[in-house]
């Protein structure tokens, strides 16, 4: 500062060379540009869905099914599809989340470098690559054709669980690996058995990360259409029982309505898309809230 005041030659402390300034600005612009590019599709999707979906975002939509309503008719709703999606994804999560987290616990806490752990790890990687239609066909061949069950929300949930499982395992595994080994040792040194250490020290420490991983998996599975078409089929009426008969689901509803050549049906499809996004967002927020409330433990 004082040097500059005295008008002496700029020293290396006070001046940055022109080249560096230009480079700095250039990289800054590039970073902001990349950010903007990444945000454009996100914002435009949200904008389109809200703009087109808000028209039918009314009470009817959430309280009526499509029973007896043709594609050209106004009104009707996605009540049956919302029920179907919630039930199917709940069943999926009940199957895939505990199994996934337990698998991750085995891989990180018990498997170490055993052959079994490496084998499981390999097959989890393979499962990650299964296309959803293949999972659907597998359950179709196994559950419907071989064992002779018929279309149901549960059959769909089985296929969705296959898709959800590897995502849950991988994300939970990453989170468990982040838990410092010192915490496990501290717990062992207190004479706490391994399983209690896992339940009361390791899992709570990794909880918020595991919750976000599970939410991502739920979001992914909630938007799946192909296996549901094969296994749950399509219906326009309300079926509360996920264990028997065809059910509707939101992604299938969107696919069904968007395929009709009528504005009324297409408007319903947009609103269903908006509903799906909102459900996933709401679930995400609740899960984060729960994770946060549980964080700094009190007495």
Between residue 197 and residue 216, which ones bind other proteins under the rule CB under 8 A? Answer: 197, 200-201, 204-205, 207
Instruction: Identify which range of 68-76, 178-186, 210-218, 228-236 contacts other proteins by CB under 8 A.
Output: 178-186
Q: Which residues of 286-298 are buried (b: 16+ CB within 10 A; e: fewer)?
A: ebeeebeeeeeee
Q: Is 191 in the site for other proteins (CB under 8 A)?
A: yes
Number of amino acids touching other proteins (CB under 8 A)? 27
In whole angstroms, the minimum distance from the beta carbon of 293 to other proteins comes to 12
Q: To 10 degrees, what angle do helices 250-258 and 263-294 make?
A: 160
Q: Is 57 exposed, middle or buried (0-12, 13-18, 19+ CB in 10 A)?
A: middle
| Part of the chain binding other proteins (CB under 8 A), chosen from 72-80, 122-130, 167-175, 289-297 | 289-297
Answer yes or no whether residue 23 interacts with other proteins by CB under 8 A: no
> Is the CB of residue 80 less than 8 Å from the CB of residue 238?
yes
> In this structure, are residues 237 and 78 in contact, taking their beta carbons and an 8 Å threshold?
no
Shortest gap between Cβ of 115 and other proteins (angstroms)? 14
- The smaller minimum CB distance to other proteins, of residues 185 and 263, is found at 185
- Using CB under 8 A as the binding rule, whether residue 293 contacts other proteins is answered as no
The DSSP-derived string for 113-142 is: T-HHHHHHHHHHHHHHT--HHHHHHHHIII
Report if residue 297 touches other proteins, rule: CB under 8 A.
Answer: yes
Residue 238 found at the interface with other proteins (CB under 8 A): no
Closest-CA residue to 227 (of 108, 144, 139): 139
- Does position 245 bind other proteins by CB under 8 A? no
CB of 75 closer than 8 Å to CB of 244: no
- Residue 68 touching other proteins (CB under 8 A): no
Element (DSSP H or E) covering residue 166: helix 153-178
Closest distance to other proteins from the beta carbon of 104 (Å): 18
Packing angle of the helix pair 79-105, 203-222 (nearest 10 deg): 140
Closest approach of other proteins to the CB of residue 284, in Å: 22
The CB-of-212 to other proteins minimum distance in angstroms stands at 16
SS3 23: helix
Residues 87-116 that bind other proteins (CB under 8 A): 112-113
Residue number with CB closer to other proteins (131 or 180): 180
Smallest distance, other proteins to C-beta of residue 110, A: 11
Contact by Cβ (8 Å): 57, 274:
yes
Q: How far apart are the first and last CA of the chain?
A: 54
Q: Which helix (H) or strand (E) holds 87?
A: helix 79-105
Q: Given the complex with other proteins, which of 183 and 240 has the nearer CB atom?
A: 183
Among 148, 189, 261, 293, interactor with other proteins by CB under 8 A: 189
Q: Which is nearer to other proteins, 56 or 184 (CB)?
A: 184
Is 72 one of the binding residues for other proteins (CB under 8 A)? Answer: no
Please give the backbone phi and psi of residue 259, each rounded to the nearest 5 degrees, phi first: -80, -10
One residue of 183, 240, 281, 285 binding other proteins per CB under 8 A: 183
Which residues here bind other proteins, judged by CB under 8 A? 112-113, 180, 182-193, 196-197, 200-201, 204-205, 207, 295-299
């Amino acid at each position: 500062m004082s040097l500059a005041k005295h008008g002496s030659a700029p020293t290396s402390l006070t001046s940055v060379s022109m080249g560096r300034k230009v480079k700095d600005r250039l990289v800054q612009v590039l970073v902001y540009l990349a950010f903007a590019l990444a945000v454009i599709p996100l914002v435009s999707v949200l904008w389109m869905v809200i703009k087109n979906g808000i028209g039918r975002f009314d009470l009817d939509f959430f309280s009526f099914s499509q029973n007896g309503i043709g594609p050209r008719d106004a009104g009707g709703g996605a009540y049956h599809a919302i029920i179907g999606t919630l039930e199917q994804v709940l069943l999926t999560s009940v199957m895939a989340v505990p199994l996934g987290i337990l698998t991750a616990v085995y891989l990180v806490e018990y498997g170490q470098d055993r052959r079994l752990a490496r084998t499981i790890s390999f097959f989890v990687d393979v499962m990650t690559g299964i296309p959803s239609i293949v999972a659907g066909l597998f359950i179709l061949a196994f559950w419907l054709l071989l064992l002779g069950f018929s279309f149901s929300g549960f059959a769909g949930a089985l296929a969705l669980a296959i898709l959800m499982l590897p995502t849950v395992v991988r994300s939970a595994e990453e989170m468990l690996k982040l838990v410092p080994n010192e915490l496990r040792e501290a717990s062992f040194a207190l004479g706490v058995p391994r399983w209690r250490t896992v339940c009361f020290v390791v899992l709570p420490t990794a909880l918020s990360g595991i919750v976000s991983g599970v939410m991502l998996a739920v979001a992914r599975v909630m938007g799946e259409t192909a296996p549901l078409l094969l296994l749950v089929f399509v219906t326009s009426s309300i079926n509360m029982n996920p264990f028997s008969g065809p059910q509707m689901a939101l992604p299938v509803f969107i696919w069904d309505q968007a395929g009709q050549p009528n504005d009324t049906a297409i408007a319903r499809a947009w609103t269903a898309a908006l509903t799906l996004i909102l459900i996933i967002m709401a679930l995400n927020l609740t899960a984060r809230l729960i994770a946060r409330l549980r964080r700094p433990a009190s007495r």
